Structure 1
Amino acid sequence: MFDYIVVGAGFAGSTVAERIANKLKKQVLIIDKRNHIGGNCFDYRNETGIIIHKYGPHLFHTDDKNVVEYLSNFTDWHIYKHKVLALVEGKKIHIPFNFESLEKLFPHHLSIKLQEKLLQYFKYGSRISVLDLKKHNDPDINFLGNFLYEKIYLNYTAKQWGKKPDEISEEVISRVKVIIGKNEGYFDDKYQMVPLNGYSQIFQNMLQNKYIKILLNTDFKEIIKIDIENTKIYFLNQEFKGKLIFTGMIDELFEYRFGKLPYRSLKFHFKTLDQEYFQEVATINYPNNYDFTRITEFKHIHPLQTPKTTIVFEYPEDYEIGKIPYYPVFTQESTNIYQKYLYLSQKFNNLILVGRLAEFKYYDMDDIVKRALEIFEEKIK
């Protein structure tokens, strides 16, 4: 009946399914436990017409022209340069931290001294990891690195991941940058934009194909069984000879055989307010105050003339079964557990893993589209 089964209707699963349907003209079944396609990128217009990102803000940015050209088959774009502020010691400063942030937080003479030191060691306009500043031999640079780490990133990281920074993989912390200059942009990618009519329309256009069938409100475990001992896959109690493309949690796929992998979940609290705007930019981080990590205002992302605005408070929380796993938590232990699952998955000749949860890897949206396109070319086509 079906040549391919795809578990998960986010960017990973939808990209693979679209390629199979349009390039190979093969029958594809997409299964998703939610009541909508699009995964965590799902959005909708609320009662005031504002596009709301149901699972938190998603800002598309990339340097990969091929990814942009691929997605442009399914959407037009609104150019959008994301800006973020953070409330630190009662002042709103730019994030990533830049020279203007320096001038707001430090006395003028110290700010100038630190700027000169940064320019002495680093190229103007570059983005340097906070960890690199902390490890620097120059005492002034080292002082700045430690100050930023403690005042901006330490508590934020603790809230975001539920762990101390030294318990998290250095790969995660190294993504935190300082801008050597006055650039206010949160990203520095060549392409920065959001879909003109929202992300959900992208998925609708991608999956509108006679070769694609979509089964929502369905847990894959209801209709797919994994025979670990005999390395076989069953669909509706019959051995499935086609390929299974899996984008969900790899530990769940194998029934937690080697233990549960750690993830972080998120809780969102939305508010629609009777005012035109609530804050200066789309997102303001709260590293040290309050239980939430940030507030996002969607009208900055998708501009709309309306007297009301909608904001969302974001609360990180521990993942447990029944919640949505947003981020894999990278530790040495979790890496070791994942390797066991990966080795087991490689024994199945018709199982393909792709995506943040299946590969236990952090992917941005552009990364996962690129990865899915590569998977199609290398393992499916």
Structure 2
Amino acid sequence: MSYDYLVVGAGLFGSTFAYEAAKRGKRVKVIDKRKHIAGNIYTEKVDGINVHKYGAHIFHTNDKKIWDYVNQFVEFNRYTNSPVANYKGEIYNLPFNMNTFNKLWGVVTPAEAKQKIEQQKAAVNVENPKNLEEQAISLIGTDIYEKLIKGYTEKQWGRKATDLPNFIIKRLPVRFTYDNNYFNDKYQGIPVGGYTQIVEKMLDNELIDVELEKDFFENKNEYLKSFPKIVYTGMIDQFFNYQFGTLEYRSLSFENIKLNEENYQGNAVVNYTDAETPYTRIIEHKHFEFGTQPTTIITKEYPKKWFEGDEPYYPMNDKKNNEMFSKYHQLAKESPNVIFGGRLGLYKYYDMHQVIGAALTVVNQEFQ
């Protein structure tokens, strides 16, 4: 069989490219080492509940073109992301807003909240933040940092906040309104029936062949010889045999629990911001789609150190790793028959709308 493209990875980037290439009459082979398509946005129906197998995914964007694009594959509900934080049994709204400030300090007006934050910032007086802790306190003060940022962040990254670079928190979402909507984006929702169907429809074309449980690296040389062009969405350092070293990631493990009760926590996402709780959040999947099932499924999310063979979720974009990536990125530029994309190919954490946008940019460059 003659193909125009091999797409390595049946996630959102690779599937968007495959869909657009097939629309243009190109024949595409898609391979993925997992047992399923859709990458990390894969949802699996369990007891009538669409379970987000790799963590919570909420689609949001300000780009109407991207919103219209994804809506051709699926209908979205009106879900609004309004996570809450649990700090040792105390419940706070996220992002930081007037509900948060009222619970913390008893303030009622935006002026009172601003005054309290400025007082705490002035008491510390950090002029040139050298690390994440100093950066966060310089933006929001000590109370919010200690209760809602410090423990969660240190669990997430596996390092003390004083050992993390300040640029990780360039800004913090602070709102002096009683609005619990986490995102400011105009368009937001969850696909009715889960995310997997988006990729199913993208790949449902007679010009696209899909093979699962296929590891690109088991036949890398053969693939490179057999296909005129490859779209690669795996780890860029692995593609180049780690010749400059191994890029660092944070990984995750998930504990799924089925409960014989209708409603466990009353919200889709609850963050656990104290240092003692080993997981960062609990997801209750049915609330993404306003489910009324008699049972529920929750997932506890545990950050962990990444080792080779683990799923890499979050790139460690500190100075050392970014400098290493720039060397790999230069090699990628010198590989004209390989297109690198996605969060692993570009060593960057992308939201879903950004993945689609990046894929469509590559499509326009490839087929202009």
Q: Does 1:135 align with 2:135?
A: no
Secondary structure at 2:230's aligned position in 1? strand
Cα separation, 2, equivalents of 1:15 and 1:168: 35
Q: CA deviation at 1:321?
A: 1.7
Q: Does 1:104 align with 2:103?
A: yes
Q: CA deviation at 1:240?
A: 4.1
Cα separation, 2, equivalents of 1:171 and 1:211: 44
Q: CA deviation at 1:332?
A: 0.5
Secondary structure at 1:300's aligned position in 2? helix
Q: CA deviation at 1:42?
A: 0.4
Taking structure 1 as reference, are residues 133 and 113 closer, same or farther at Cα in structure 2, changes over 3 Å only? farther
Cα separation, 1, equivalents of 2:311 and 2:176: 37
Cα separation, 1, equivalents of 2:213 and 2:206: 21
| 1:99–1:115 CA contact under 8 A, matched in 2 | no
Partner of 2:91: 92
Among 286, 296, 309, the alignment partner of 2:283 is 296
Cα separation, 2, equivalents of 1:353 and 1:300: 35
Describe the superposition over 1:229-282 as per-residue Cα deviations: whole angstroms up to 9, x where unpaired.
xxxxx42xx724621111110011111111100011110001111111011211
Query: What residue ranges of structure 2 are gaps of 5+ in the alignment?
Result: 119-131
Partner of 2:25: 25
Partner of 1:13: 14
Partner of 2:77: 78
Cα separation, 2, equivalents of 1:359 and 1:135: 31
Counterpart code for 1:32: D
Q: CA deviation at 1:305?
A: 2.2
Q: Does 1:376 align with 2:358?
A: no
| 2:94–2:180 CA contact under 8 A, matched in 1 | yes
Cα separation, 2, equivalents of 1:337 and 1:352: 19
Q: CA deviation at 1:134?
A: 3.4
Secondary structure at 1:5's aligned position in 2? strand
Q: CA deviation at 1:307?
A: 1.2
Bigger mean CA deviation after superposition, 325-334 or 148-157: 148-157
Cα separation, 1, equivalents of 2:204 and 2:67: 20
Q: Does 1:257 align with 2:243?
A: yes
Secondary structure at 1:214's aligned position in 2? strand
Taking structure 1 as reference, are residues 67 and 167 closer, same or farther at Cα in structure 2, changes over 3 Å only? farther
Paired residues in the alignment total 354
Q: Does 1:269 align with 2:255?
A: yes
| 2:98–2:108 CA contact under 8 A, matched in 1 | no
Q: CA deviation at 1:187?
A: 1.2
Q: CA deviation at 1:192?
A: 0.7
Partner of 2:34: 34
Taking structure 1 as reference, are residues 159 and 34 closer, same or farther at Cα in structure 2, changes over 3 Å only? same
Q: CA deviation at 1:31?
A: 1.2
Describe the superposition over 1:329-367 as per-residue Cα deviations: whole angstroms up to 9, x where unpaired.
111000011011111111111111111111011210000
Give the root-mean-square deviation of aligned CA atoms: 2.3
Describe the superposition over 1:269-314 as per-residue Cα deviations: whole angstroms up to 9, x where unpaired.
0111111101121111111131000011111102222211111100
TM-score normalised by the chain length of structure 1 = 0.87
Describe the superposition over 1:46-90 as per-residue Cα deviations: whole angstroms up to 9, x where unpaired.
0x2111011111111111111111111111111110111111253
TM-score normalised by the chain length of structure 2 = 0.90
Taking structure 1 as reference, are residues 340 and 287 closer, same or farther at Cα in structure 2, changes over 3 Å only? same
Among 346, 353, 358, the alignment partner of 1:366 is 353
Describe the superposition over 1:21-41 as per-residue Cα deviations: whole angstroms up to 9, x where unpaired.
01x211111111001000000
Query: What residue ranges of structure 1 are gaps of 5+ in the alignment?
Result: 120-128, 137-143, 226-233
Q: Aligned ranges for residues 118-157 of structure 1 at < 5 Å?
A: 134-135=137-138, 144-157=140-153
Bigger mean CA deviation after superposition, 249-258 or 83-92: 83-92
Taking structure 1 as reference, are residues 146 and 80 closer, same or farther at Cα in structure 2, changes over 3 Å only? same
Describe the superposition over 1:93-122 as per-residue Cα deviations: whole angstroms up to 9, x where unpaired.
101111111111124489963345679xxx
Q: Aligned ranges for residues 225-244 of structure 1 at < 5 Å?
A: 225=221, 234-235=222-223, 239-240=225-226, 242-244=228-230
Cα separation, 1, equivalents of 2:134 and 2:22: 45
Cα separation, 2, equivalents of 1:324 and 1:161: 15
Q: Does 1:200 align with 2:199?
A: no
Taking structure 1 as reference, are residues 331 and 377 closer, same or farther at Cα in structure 2, changes over 3 Å only? same
Taking structure 1 as reference, are residues 117 and 104 closer, same or farther at Cα in structure 2, changes over 3 Å only? closer
Among 178, 181, 184, the alignment partner of 2:177 is 181
Cα separation, 1, equivalents of 2:163 and 2:211: 39
Taking structure 1 as reference, are residues 167 and 209 closer, same or farther at Cα in structure 2, changes over 3 Å only? farther
Cα separation, 1, equivalents of 2:117 and 2:147: 19
Q: CA deviation at 1:180?
A: 2.0
Partner of 2:217: 221
| 1:91–1:105 CA contact under 8 A, matched in 2 | no
Among 311, 314, 336, the alignment partner of 1:327 is 314
Taking structure 1 as reference, are residues 61 and 110 closer, same or farther at Cα in structure 2, changes over 3 Å only? closer
| 1:130–1:176 CA contact under 8 A, matched in 2 | no
Partner of 1:122: none
**Identity across aligned pairs (percent)?**
37
